[in-house]
A and B are shown apart, each in its own frame.
Chain A
């Protein structure tokens, strides 16, 4: 930071960031240097910086970890960015769900001001820059940059069409650079170690390292920072240590509700912006959720569509109505009530929502459906044609039964059944009354592992 403030011009800083090949870590992957340069060229004053810490993708928590563990890296990056574009004020937007991140960022800012690293005349360079924290209020769409700006302004988080881009017309109509937490945190290292060092890592188009949160059905769950271009297989089976319980790998979901599911046959894919998009997924902010044979892909598509439908801000019709229609069709298929025409309808709707929506939320909302239909069409067909759920997940299509030869009559399932659907006496075989069963799975979960008398079946 001192180097950038005292020994580099704004042009030199942007030159260095551009040469490093750094691209936005929030999902879309726009080149950071280019964004900064656009904003630098704007004549209007004041200019603003925003750090987007509204990490809403379920299954992703890299930004939380950076904000909690190294808030100073974000501050440093923002001071460098402020010098580069000529901004005097910055905002750090952090989700309401991350209380510790909010607290620690507050401490870091107070420390910075006390040490003269924020505020007036930073390090005696004559440069002024100060930061303010903005607490999110619980809306997934506010992670979209124009919606986030509306939220800081005290409005509902509605996105607006681009262009004009925030770099030209952002917060209160002023030129604004908005970058993700991880992007800002990358800046100090690039300035300190040089663009060549950073661009030496990664692939032709995706430079540097990226943090992923590796979660779900995986042995080693947590955050991993890997060079771009690493094979998915090396992350899942190398670093992640494979699937627990000897189960079979099915897919890895990348990119949250905007992303898609990458199947087994594509595990050798290099992880970079372009390869993931081609495979129907997305870098997103970097959530990787590993799924095994016990995960139903129709259920996952339904899960994400319900999510986007609920989080759609309602401003534009394709997203508001389209996600709802798609979720309803998926719910029908998951309930075993889908017809053969539903798949075609789903695909048509998906394309309409993708092309017709205003912002990234709607444009990418169909990805979970399209990618699961592309790689796991047989599972959709099983639900529709055979009324069965191969992964034994969709409640309407499975039954819980007690195998008489295994049951020891311990009463555990009977006591735990919330629907009083289990009949039996001590030391006598128990029976589930299928008419009363609510398919909650309590009996399946409490039956001791040594006995395993309760099983799930599908037609």
Chain B
């Protein structure tokens, strides 16, 4: 079933990655939770980290990348200090979730999936958070905000330290006409 980690490495300094891998007994099948735990700590997965995981688990780097790029909860880019997640489930969609997402894009001047250049904010869309009775839903830094409107969204952004401002004409190309 699962393969044990080979004792490897010339130096045996217990790095964070090694500690996390040890927690899962060095099993290669635990690669997904290992990457998740590393990401919870570092907020993203750098190429150095992926190389270290491949070395420690004794699997090809290509395998680590195949997993890291497949799953949406794993990020190969640095994420912001504040995470805004806009739910795009069907219930949120029929109750106007798209307009809420576009509002966040305009206010944060980034597109969904992007992080602001100052690494303060990451804007994400999620397929469904399973809280459909509260639609449309936004999660900001782990807090759930229900029945979103544009003005409620401004209040949420304010709690994250984004002051309201007079919007500019067509900021950052977001909300462009199709």
Contact = CB atoms under 8 A, between A and B. Distances in A.
Q: Name the residue in B30, B91, B93 with the highest tally of chain A Cβ atoms < 10 Å from its Cβ.
A: B91
A300 B102 CA distance: 18
A416 B176 contact: no
A215 interface: yes
A56 interface: yes
A56 B132 contact: no
Contact of B73 (A98, A138, A303, A441): A138
A137 B32 contact: yes
Interface string A200-237: 00000000000001011100011000000000000000
Contacts of A86: none
A393 to B, nearest CB: 10
Interface of A is mostly: loop
Contacts of B90: 58-59, 215-216, 253, 256, 287, 289, 303-304
Interface residues of A, number: 61
Interface in A409-439: 416-420, 436, 438-439
B13 to A, nearest CB: 25
Contacts of A335: 178
Interface stretch (A123-131, A146-154, A349-357, A375-383): A146-154
B160 to A, nearest CB: 19
Contact of A441 (B93, B99, B169, B177): B99
B73 A215 contact: no
A434 to B, nearest CB: 11
B130 interface: yes
A145 interface: no
A137 B36 contact: yes
Given A138-B73, A440-B103, A418 B129 contact: no
Contact of B66 (A58, A140, A156, A445): A156
A269 interface: no
Given A98-B130, A154-B67, A440-B102, A445 B177 contact: no
Interface in A152-194: 152-157, 172
B133 A307 contact: no
Interface in B40-93: 66-67, 70-74, 88-93
Contacts of A153: 29
A445 B71 CA distance: 36
Given A157-B70, A418-B167, A440-B175, A135 B33 contact: yes
A289 B89 CA distance: 10
Nearest to B34: A154
A416 B150 contact: yes
Nearest to A294: B94
Contact of B71 (A60, A138, A213): A138
B128 A289 contact: no
B149 interface: yes
B111 interface: no
B170 A216 contact: no
A307 B36 CA distance: 24
Contact of B176 (A57, A438, A442): A438
B12 interface: no
Contacts of A136: 73
Interface string B135-178: 10000000000000111000000000000000111110001111
A311 interface: yes
A122 interface: no
B15 interface: no
Nearest to A55: B130
A64 interface: yes
Interface in A278-301: 287, 289, 291, 295, 300
A96 interface: yes
A154 to B, nearest CB: 4
B73 A57 contact: no
A139 interface: yes
B29 A217 contact: no
B177 A215 contact: no
Contacts of B170: 419, 438
B80 to A, nearest CB: 18
B28 interface: yes
B127 interface: yes
B126 interface: yes
A376 to B, nearest CB: 15
A57 B132 CA distance: 11
A215 B67 contact: no
Interface string A342-376: 00000000000000000000000000000000000
B128 A152 contact: no
A418 B107 CA distance: 9
Contact of A96 (B36, B93, B178): B36
B107 to A, nearest CB: 8
B130 A61 contact: yes
B99 to A, nearest CB: 6
A418 B177 contact: no
Given A138-B72, A156-B70, A172-B1, A215 B135 contact: yes
B138 to A, nearest CB: 14
A446 interface: yes
B150 A446 contact: yes
B128 A58 contact: yes
Q: Which 10 A-B pairs have the closest CB atoms?
A: A137-B71, A61-B130, A138-B72, A58-B89, A58-B128, A138-B73, A59-B90, A215-B132, A215-B91, A154-B29
18 contacts: A56-B128, A58-B91, A58-B132, A61-B128, A61-B130, A137-B72, A155-B66, A157-B71, A215-B132, A216-B132, A295-B94, A335-B178, A418-B175, A419-B175, A438-B175, A440-B99, A440-B106, A440-B175
Given A58-B92, A137-B32, A418-B106, 9 more contacts: A135-B36, A154-B30, A156-B67, A157-B71, A289-B90, A289-B132, A417-B167, A419-B175, A420-B167
